[in-house]
Amino acid sequence: MADDVQKRSKNFSIIAVLGMFSFLTALSGSSTNLAIPKIAIDMNVSSSMATWIVQIGLITTAILLVMFGHIGDILSKNVVFLAGGITFLVGSAITGGAPIYVIILFGRVIQAIGSAMIMANSMGIVTQYFPDKRRAEALAVISMFISVGAISGPGIGGLIISSSSWRWIYWINVPLGIIILWLGFKFLPVPKASWSRVREVTKGANWTGQNLFTLGIIIFFLSGSFFQSGRSKLLTGLAFFLVGAAITVYSFVQDDKANLPWIAPEVIHNRGFMTSITALALVMLVNSVSNILLPFYFQSYNGMSAFYSGLIIMLQSVTMLCTTPFAGFLADRINRELMTVVGLLILMISQVGYALFPNAINMWQIIPPIVLNGVGMAIFLSPNNALTMGLVDKRLSGIAGSLNSFARTLGMTIGISFGSSLLFFQLPGVNRISSSVGIRFVHAFANVFWTATIISAIALVLVLVRYLESKRKANSAALKKAA
């Protein structure tokens, strides 16, 4: 009995550390989205160029997630996680103190390296310490922390930007992060690993595959810059898009045939697992479109302050926070596949609501889609995460968790790049969004969300097929048992 109490107490402490760092990274990310219009003005860069402050961080994280998940499996998930915390704080300090735009980008890259180390190992650490019957609830708790961070980002970020400087949305990470790191070193066991062991782990790794993947991702996302330039650079953008996508796909093929692959073959060939992370990537893509475009709609086009804009946007995260515990509870007790179908259907309806946003702000039309977006995300994420991590062996939980985080980050990155590129592609000659752009902005804004609705429908079909297949297997098993 005493051992069980001690074990539960230790698990609670571990979840608290994982959750608080997840909170901090989410806080920084959502604050950055809100600060983009202000940073663009302060640094004298265009609105489209300012979106790279968000994109470069997500691209860096996406590139490194699988690598850090693999290293965590072989070396120590706890070590990589804590090292990521330190790196994240260094990047935050650099970004906050950046005198010019280029240094902001550099700081965001350092910050993103830390985020990749944290995200790649968080789910693996949960799988390591929690049994399957408690895993969805544990993952739901972490999702709650992420939701709180996403909530606090627009609220705290909006208040900071309105009353002080956008720089403090990064500097605030430093004192908070130091406290969380202290708790992390206290509760997460850190094995003694020599530098020779670290070199041994990384020496024989498939660096050819990693380099191909890095090159492919960079070329792929550079295409967004050409698309944002309008129709004159359309062919160049398409060329970068196709070449980048081809190199990225080939990097996975090359890795699968390597002697020491980053991704274990039994994971990459697991159909159920790949279906789950594909659905996750599409959902995060759709969700990120609103994250990047709503600040432009509220602040740049309608002249709303960053503070009030943040309060409205954070309704999505407040809704997620309230719905996630309930979704996690249900995910451990009823059909998880069915819950993902319901969540995606609600998310798709929210995108239709965004597409119908009026020219002038009308709260009765604006708030329902934001709330529905939060409900749909919460109902989808908890059961899908539990399904994903339950489909692989525990010894591969690190790489599985990092692939799950990779799908999430890749979806977010594509969503932000896609949303901003499609918007500015429809607005040739527009350097910075303002009310002077007129009804053209509203039409372009709506077209982006109609496209997001179509992507939601594709994801809905994917999870619906998964649900029907699981139902068929369950019925077949029941018939065999009865016979």
The secondary structure of 414-428 as a DSSP string is HHHHHHHHHHHHTST
The residue type of 67 is M
Q: What is the pLDDT of residue 397?
A: 67
Residue pair 271/462 in contact by the 8 Å Cβ criterion: no
Question: Is the same domain home to 241 and 319?
Answer: no
CATH of the domain at 391: 1.20.1250.20
31: closest CA among 58, 10, 5, 54?
54
User: Cβ distance 91 to 113 under 8 Å?
Assistant: yes
Are 278 and 255 found together in one domain? no
d(C-alpha 449, C-alpha 471), whole Å: 32
pLDDT of residue 350: 95
Confidence of residue 392 (pLDDT cuts 50, 70, 90): confident
Do 225 and 363 belong together in one domain?
Answer: no
* Tokens coding 233: 């650079």
Contact 374/319 with Cβ under 8 angstroms?
yes
pLDDT at 421 over 60: yes
Percentage of the chain lying above the pLDDT 70 cut: 86
Whether residue 451 is found in the same domain as residue 314: yes
State the burial class of residue 398 (Cβ atoms within 10 Å of its Cβ: 0-12, 13-18, 19+). Answer: buried
Question: How many domains, in total, are found in the chain?
Answer: 2
Q: Are residues 272 and 230 in the same domain?
A: no
Dmax over CA atoms of the chain, in Å, equals 74
Asked if the model's pLDDT at residue 376 lies above 90, the reply is: yes
The string of pLDDT tens digits covering residues 124-182 is 777 777 666 666 667 667 766 766 676 666 677 777 877 778 888 888 889 988 988 88
Of 243, 261, 279, the one marking the end of a domain is 261
The DSSP secondary-structure symbol of 52 reads H
Range of the domain at 245: 206-261
Q: Is residue 43 domain-shared with residue 74, that is, in the same domain?
A: yes
Which DSSP symbol is given to 435?
G
Coil, strand or helix: which one is 368?
helix
- From the centroid of its chain, how far is CA 146? 10
Among 261, 277, 306, where does a domain finish? 261
Q: Are residue 181 and residue 238 in the same domain, yes or no?
A: no
Written as six digits, the tokens of 457 are 């429908």
Q: Are residues 286 and 248 in the same domain?
A: no
- In terms of domains, do 468 and 445 share one? yes
Question: Is the same domain home to 256 and 137?
Answer: no
Residues 191 and 222 both lie in one domain: no
Q: What integer is the mean pLDDT of 449-457?
A: 95
How many Å separate Cα 32 from the centre of its chain? 14
Predicted confidence (pLDDT) at residue 5 exceeds the cutoff of 60 = no
On whether both 68 and 211 belong to a single domain, the answer is: no
48-93 residue pLDDT tens: 788 888 888 888 888 887 788 777 877 778 888 898 999 999 999 9
